Structures are given as C-alpha cells and as structure tokens.
Amino acid sequence: MAARPHLVLDGVLLAADAVGADRAHLYVGRDHRVAVAALRRAVAERRGELGRRVSVVEAPAGYVSGEETAAVRYLNEGGARPSSTPPRPFQRGVGGRATLVQNVESLAAAALIARFGDGWYRSAGRDQTRGSALVTVSGPVAHPGVQEIELGTTVGEVATTAGLAGPARAVLLGGYFGAWATIEEAWQLPLDPARMRAMSLAFGCGIVAFLPADVCGVDATARVVSSMAAASAGQCGPCVFGLGAIAAATGRLARGAAQPDDLQRLARWVSQLPGRGACRHPDGAAGFVRSALRVFAQEFSLHQHHRRCSHVQLLRRAA
C-alpha cells in the first residue's frame, strides 16, 4: 500500500467491476500513516477514472479491527468490533448490501495477473501450488522484513535468504493465529497453504518468526497470549474470561509462579475454548497455545514442576 498504491487500486477496481460494486472502501489501520497518505494520493490522482466512489477509511488500532465483520460494523456504525455470523459480509455487509471483503495482497496480485496473464502468475510456485506470496521474517536474522517467495519455498530457504544469524530452536508460522513448529520439523517444510494445513499448521498472514535457541518458549508464548487477550474486543464471555484465564496461567508458568494444576488446566482450556466466541479470535489463541504445549512440552513441564527452565536462567543472566 505504501510503495505501490496504484497496484492496490487497480486490484480494487478489478474486484469492484467483477461484483458490480458502485462503492469501494480502502480500510487501512490508522497507524500506517505512510500507507494511508499514499492511498489518499493515489485515489486523488485518479479521481476522474475510478467510475465509482472510492474512499480511504482509517481503521482504529487493534488486532480484531481487521476482522471482516469488525470492518463492516465500523463502516456502518463505528466501533470496530466483530459481529456474530451469519450473516457474513458477502450476505449482508456495508449499508446492508452484499459486500466483498478482500485483502490487499490478493488485490495487488489480481492487478498483476490482469496485466501479465495467468500463465505468468502460474510460472511461479513449486509442485501443485502455483503463485507467490509475501512472508514477513523476524528473529535472529540479518535481514528481517518482507520477502516475496514462490509458494512451496521451504522455511530453511527463507531462513537462508534472511541470513539466519544464530541457532534457532523453533519458528512461529502464520502469526498469532498460527502455530509453533520445531526448527527441525520446519526446515524442509514448504510454505504452501494446502500442505501446511494438512500438517495442522497455517500459512496465515505469512509470518515466519524464528525463536533464538537461548530464549524460553514458555516466556515467548506468554507474551503473545497476553497481547492476544488484551486485543479481545471484550464482548463475548468465553473470549474475555477463557482467553484471560489462559493468558494468566501461561504468564504464571513463565514467571515461575505456577499454581499446582496450571499446566493441566491450560491443556483442558485450549480444547474447550474454540468455537465459543463471535469471531475466531479465541480459536486462534487456543490453537497457538496448543502448538506451544506440544513444541515446548519439556519446558512447560519444567516451569510447572520446577518453576523455571534453563532458558529462563539464561535470560535472567543476560538481563
């Protein structure tokens, strides 16, 4: 959005033509100042040729503001909180009309396909999955940031391109709605949504976050869950209390202050929470913690029974 706003706008116009839309809203997080300014400029530059009303809407900060029903509610009445479904936006959305909600990466890809043809797009990709995707790489790497990969590129190749600078023990794939995998199982894993799904992993928003070998997995998990609990829209009991309890128990385990049955309860709660909120926010958090309990099983057990693990000691010494 910041660097190629006209490409995104091209995709918006293609999608609007495809569904016969006479209005388009570019819903952008208000913290993304550069992107908001670039899109406003692009819309103004093409004002005469858009063929419909196109507006740039600054979305409130917050993780769930980007959820599609939250976006529709914000445009309708303000307050970017998810709504129960059905109806999904494609059934009844902005102004009560059927609404297509589409992400920026897909819109930009559609604009490129329209320009260069589907054969061009299909020339990228490995095995059965064609095309390319953006992934965001972080952790102990020399070149953190966004990489464009052909689908099917392995996690190991992404690590090498980013210049993995030190030993990593695990990698978070797909973002906070995704899952941890050990570095061994992930290294040869193709970043391909279909194949990842078959392994109970998620491509999600393309996050590839490496966890350094000397960082405690329980602590890293607790930080993520705490921010997911804070990001809850606060309107569904199971999300507010269930996710809050999961975050509190994970935090106690990480701090070495576990109650006697925290680990046991955590395992039970992550299987009970999914499907009980208006949106999938708690489901994502539960899946994420479930993956942590598998990948960092030994550390969770050490934190429960001995209140710490060797990684925590390393962290404290470094601090």
List of residues contacting ligand SF4 (CB under 6 A): 64, 81-82, 232-236, 239-240, 277-279, 281-282
Beta strands in the chain (DSSP E): 23-29, 53-59, 125-126, 129-130, 132-138, 145-150, 168-173, 179-182, 207-212
CB of 81 to ligand SF4, least distance (A): 6
Question: Which residues touch 45 (CB under 8 Å, ≥6 apart)?
Answer: 6
CB of 204 to ligand SF4, least distance (A): 17
String of b and e for 105-123 (b: at least 16 CB within 10 Å)? bebbbbbbbeeeeeeebee
CB of 83 to ligand SF4, least distance (A): 8
Give the residue with the Cβ less far from ligand SF4, 11 or 174: 174
Q: Cα separation of 73 and 165, whole Å?
A: 44
CB of 86 to ligand SF4, least distance (A): 15
15 and 100 Cβ atoms separated by less than 8 Å: yes
CB of 302 to ligand SF4, least distance (A): 31
Give the residue with the Cβ less far from ligand SF4, 166 or 234: 234
Helical spans, DSSP H, in 4-129: 5-19, 33-45, 68-77, 104-116, 118-122
Give the residue with the Cβ less far from ligand SF4, 202 or 286: 286
Say whether 145 sits in a helix, a strand or coil. strand
Chain-centroid distance, C-alpha 155: 17
Task: Determine how β-strand 129-130 pairs with β-strand 207-212.
Answer: unpaired
CB of 205 to ligand SF4, least distance (A): 17
Q: Which residue has its beta carbon closest to ligand SF4?
A: 277
